[in-house]
């Protein structure tokens, strides 16, 4: 059984196109669970109309009593699902018509896979052009726990995972602010996180979604936002430790040391950005920085440290 989990919030401009791309799949899902996070536009009306014209797909609409944010909203949908295979779905993307069929085929080809992320086309809604694409390849590779702890490997809208992880959604709280990253970590602990290079969605960017706000197309970068992002990463790591999600890993000590090193690295970054540390102190920790960050991120820290905001 296939379940699709969608979180909506004021999605009137793009929601119908996304829902249409699901209905037109070569392999239809048995259920779509849509959790609305207190929309104030006509999103609910669009969903209700879709329920009548869903080509036999069971569509369940849940409306939050208060704004919960995307992570807890998706978690709520996961806990209501019944599928053996669960897909995350954003309200503003477009799925290739064979997305479900392709993903099912990859899972069937390798029973070690517990969660799969796929490639995507980054689609700029302002000029209707693809601005970036994943490598169009059928290559599949495993992603290590160490790699995914350093950062999320793919947008949540590319994710599908086995129903055995359904109840893990109960662990998602305010400090687990990226639901798909959390699930990537959980599956990597079981050596079950894989990446399929082939693009299977148009990942739409616009001024109101998360990635659009983080790209130069919609310049919103500030020093304050960089600091806030680092602080939230620290919260995420500390919450993973508190929840005990690593208790069953064979190399527990190594994983814990890696996590503490990541937390320490991010505290060093905060000291630089908050002017509690100069460049000299920052570069004294260059080994840890290079081990846990990309060169691009290090350069970004140095640039933002010079800014007043």
pLDDT digits (tens, 9 = 90+) for 248-306: 888 888 999 999 999 999 999 999 999 999 999 999 999 999 999 999 999 999 999 99
pLDDT reading at 97 higher than 90: yes
Residues 65 and 152 in one domain: yes
Which of 154, 176, 207 is the endpoint of a domain?
207
Which of 183, 207, 231 is the endpoint of a domain?
207
pLDDT in tens, 126-164: 656 677 676 778 899 999 999 999 989 999 999 999 999
Cα(242)–Cα(259) distance, rounded to whole angstroms? 12
pLDDT reading at 217 higher than 70: no
Q: Looking at the 3D structure of the chain, how many domains does it have?
A: 2
Cα 214 to Cα 51, 181, 249, 250, 305: the distances in Å are: 33, 17, 34, 37, 18
Which of 176, 207, 238 is the endpoint of a domain?
207
Residue tagged 């699709």 (tokens): 4
Residues 43 and 136 in one domain: yes
Residues 235 and 114 in one domain: no
Q: Angle at Cα 289 formed by Cα 288 and Cα 292, nearest 5°?
A: 85
Cα(217)–Cα(254) distance, rounded to whole angstroms? 40
Do the domain assignments include residue 20?
yes
Do the domain assignments include residue 216?
no
Domain that holds residue 298: 221-305
Residue % of the chain over a pLDDT of 70 = 93
Do the domain assignments include residue 112?
yes
Do the domain assignments include residue 53?
yes
Q: What are phi and psi of 25, to 5 degrees?
A: -65, 145
Residues 262 and 122 in one domain: no
Cα(234)–Cα(266) distance, rounded to whole angstroms? 7
Residues 226 and 198 in one domain: no
Residues 183 and 272 in one domain: no
The mean pLDDT of 53-80, rounded to a whole number, is 95
Residues 153 and 246 in one domain: no
């Amino acid at each position: 059984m296939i379940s699709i989990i969608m979180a909506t919030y004021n999605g009137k401009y793009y929601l119908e196109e996304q829902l249409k791309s699901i209905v037109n799949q070569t392999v239809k899902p048995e259920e779509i669970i849509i959790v609305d996070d207190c929309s104030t536009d006509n999103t609910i009306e669009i969903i209700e109309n879709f329920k009548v014209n869903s080509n036999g797909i069971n569509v369940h609409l849940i409306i939050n009593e208060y704004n919960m944010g995307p992570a807890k909203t998706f978690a709520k949908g996961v806990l209501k699902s019944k599928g053996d295979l669960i897909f995350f779905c954003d309200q503003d993307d477009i799925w290739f018509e064979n997305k479900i069929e392709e993903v099912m085929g990859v899972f069937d080809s390798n029973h070690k896979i517990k969660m799969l992320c796929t490639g995507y086309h980054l689609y700029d809604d302002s000029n209707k052009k693809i601005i970036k694409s994943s490598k169009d390849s059928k290559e599949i590779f495993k992603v290590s726990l160490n790699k995914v702890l350093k950062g999320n490997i793919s947008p949540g809208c590319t994710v599908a995972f086995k129903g055995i992880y359904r109840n893990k959604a109960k662990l998602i709280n305010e400090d687990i602010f990226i639901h798909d990253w959390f699930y990537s970590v959980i599956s990597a602990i079981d050596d079950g996180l894989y990446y399929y290079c082939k693009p299977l969605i148009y990942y739409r960017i616009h001024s109101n979604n998360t990635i659009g706000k983080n790209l130069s197309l919609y310049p919103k970068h500030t020093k304050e936002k960089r600091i806030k992002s680092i602080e939230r990463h620290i919260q995420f790591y500390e919450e993973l430790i508190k929840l005990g999600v690593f208790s069953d890993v064979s190399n527990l000590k190594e994983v814990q040391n890696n996590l503490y090193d990541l937390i320490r690295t991010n505290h060093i970054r905060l000291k630089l950005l908050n002017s509690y540390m100069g460049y000299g102190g920052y570069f004294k920790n260059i080994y840890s920085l290079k081990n846990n960050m990309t060169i691009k991120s290090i350069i970004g820290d140095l640039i933002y440290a010079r800014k007043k905001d």
